[in-house]
Amino acid sequence: MKKTLVSVVGPTAVGKTALAIQLAQYFQTEIVSADSRQFYREMTVGTAKPDAQELAAATHHFINSHAVDTVYSAGDFERDALALLYTLFQTHDVVVLVGGSGLFVRALTEGLDDLPQAPEHIRQRLNESLQSDGLPSLQQRLKAIDPVHYAQMDFQNPQRVVRALEVYETTGKSIADYQQQKQVARAFDVITVGLNDEREALYNRINRRVEQMMENGLLEEVQSLASYREHPALRTVGYTEIFDFLDGNGTLQEAVEKIQQNSRRYAKRQITWFKKYGNTHWFAPTDLEKIKQFLHESGVMAPQKT
């Protein structure tokens, strides 16, 4: 019988971690994290990383697995996570995948497309432009030449904006043109469970989560990471806004409000991504019993109690 990877996806703050732990306990299995920022040991508060109690409730992989100055790509994750799954499936019929980083989820479940490599001079020029002119300049350039891809991507992530521009300037094609190819067959089944909620409820959770991050020491965490601020993982929502404040731009309250706003925008893009890719079955965050019933009907059975 084929093994099954249950992939839990959805927007930020919707409750993916809690559901993944409940499913891991139910199926007596382990969790693979596909959150591209929770890999980094030094980034805890701003990534809403599972706390000690949650990490103890189920075995997690790819949490605190890398140093913040390590560049860890979706391709690297695909390779390492596939190797891990090979091992986990020796002793488990089901493994739970959880995360809101769509590209990393897709890398593991479907495989990555063979994107063209840009000449070094193009990459260097774009990165120099990022440093001198800032991310908004590159965002506007990408939006003008490739509005379709721009609308569905994480355009707050400078690494992905630069990559999309690299592909376009190298080939004259959208990066989306290279993402239409047939997915790679996996040796395991993939069932994707999407969590979503009413927009007002989701946005309230996002706003409250950001407030909790501040209460838990986000400002101090960002200050401690100042020497790494140019690394891709730190040029993301929750960190760039605080760095901007530390540079003397606006008040701390304005920075918090920007994090909330940018997090809400990111949530919308996550929902768009997961609705477009894969056969996602959507549920409310409180639908645990419905999700278990759906998985049973899909042939995913919990171990028999002894």
Q: Which residue ranges make up the annotated binding site for substrate? A: 12-17
Q: What CA–CA distance (Å, rounded) separates 175 from 306?
A: 51
Binding residues: 10-17
Phi/psi of residue 294, each to 5°?
A: -60, -45
Contacts of 256 (CB under 8 A, 6+ apart): 210, 211, 214, 241
Q: Kindly tell me the sign of the dihedral angle through the C-alpha atoms of 33, 35, 36, 42.
A: negative
Q: What CA–CA distance (Å, rounded) separates 291 from 90?
A: 25
Contacts of 276 (CB under 8 A, 6+ apart): 152
Q: What CA–CA distance (Å, rounded) separates 130 from 220?
A: 26
Binding residues for ATP: 10-17
Which of 98, 108, 106, 277 shows the shortest CA–CA distance to 187? 108
Q: What CA–CA distance (Å, rounded) separates 108 from 116?
A: 20
Contacts of 149 (CB under 8 A, 6+ apart): 142, 164, 174, 175, 176
The two counts, helices (H) then strands (E), for the chain are: 13, 6
SS3 5: strand
Q: What CA–CA distance (Å, rounded) separates 139 from 220?
A: 29
CB 225 within 8 A of CB 68: yes
**Alpha carbon separation from 57 to 18, 34, 148, 272 (Å, rounded):** 10, 18, 41, 31
